[in-house]
Structure 1
């Protein structure tokens, strides 16, 4: 086995041992096709108040600006589909936020993987990314054959669905590169038809400023009256477009204990959420991604839903 092939297999085997669902690798190069798409999306203000999306335009498209002399983008998927979901009569939280904040869980695994690469292969420079830097995660994952980007703009994988996190390690090591797979959305429009706020404005194009996740997490001002009665009881995030996707029939529950929710999260009634105190919020969401919206933000969302 040649060294490049050997290194590739080593990395993929260790990724599997660390609990990642899958690992794909693509060449670190400028994303030529994405440049006009991203520019058009930003020019149409589909990012709403998410002004950070306007920053580092070049870095979003060129990994060599993030990691000098980078050769490979190692993309990884980590399943978060829960074994149990919330009381269906209650206010809802997106499944990705049930357990410990994924940034901490995945960052830890990526650190292990990068250390492993440096110990086993030698002097390799790289950086780990988890949804907190100007990296087009879904595009890199699709380029490395881990799935295709569906009409709801999420990455989809046959026999797996879409309930997983995407992360990357960008390194200055040449590896064997995977190839993209074909699109399997076909004529299905389930996600487009189901979105209560019409955020999927065209197949494969999501207006972020119309998304329920945007209203309940990113929007810092008051909720617009135009979405009254359209948030479908989501108080943090939204899973509608994924829940209705036929490919998610194949979703299987994760095996990561840190993603298991506080039992209170699953059982609370609407009335109990409406009466939540700062102390109970801290207790349930101590290490959760829900802390991003803060107690005041969650309360604003709940009050809007019940009014």
Structure 2
């Protein structure tokens, strides 16, 4: 079996990356962070979501990607969806993207980006509750909780149920996007930052950090792509474990490569670390994913 991307898939990745770069580049990201951090001090932000961006994503087929063409969708499959969600993770695109995408076939308006859908997690967390038009699951009595990520407002409710495998896999794909962004950012910084008369990328310790980031990214990406082909729940749980590790560890190492500059609010590295933490806790946390893999051994 040939796991290399074909030309259509490469074109899809390039198109989505260009769309997000033009519509949600760094200036838009920082503006969203500033707006999200202007809440009432509980860490949850004000819950505002860019409805114009959401509609543009709908028009571009982001949410209807896997719907059949006869139902107005793009007619692609899960392997293509993970490519798209990796790009969303790389761009730190905010909002309940996975929930809206998964609900596109059952919730009217979700496929077109006219409706925002969120979901109550089995862990009892609800992202973007106040911005959502439709909430899947019981959210009565939800209370806001502090979120480390300024672009993911959270509420807590009693948690029940199980995650759908496709939700886990697409979240893992977002984690791969963060892992890849952190790798690229670390390498780019290491090739231009000079210390002691040479670029820091020439130092062995920095080389080792960047090499380790690349290995984690590619291992997680291979697991996610493989699970997208098989759609096996155990392989998906394993892919989520690897993707969480890659996203969190790469963000930490990216901070190390950037040094003191990386720990400032103005740098974007901390935003990827915070989003990786939230994704890891929100959807099939590591201990539950490990239990699913272990139970199948």
| TM-score in terms of structure 1 length | 0.31
Select the structure of larger CA radius of gyration.
1
Instruction: Give 1 or 2: higher strand fraction.
Output: 1
| TM-score in terms of structure 2 length | 0.31
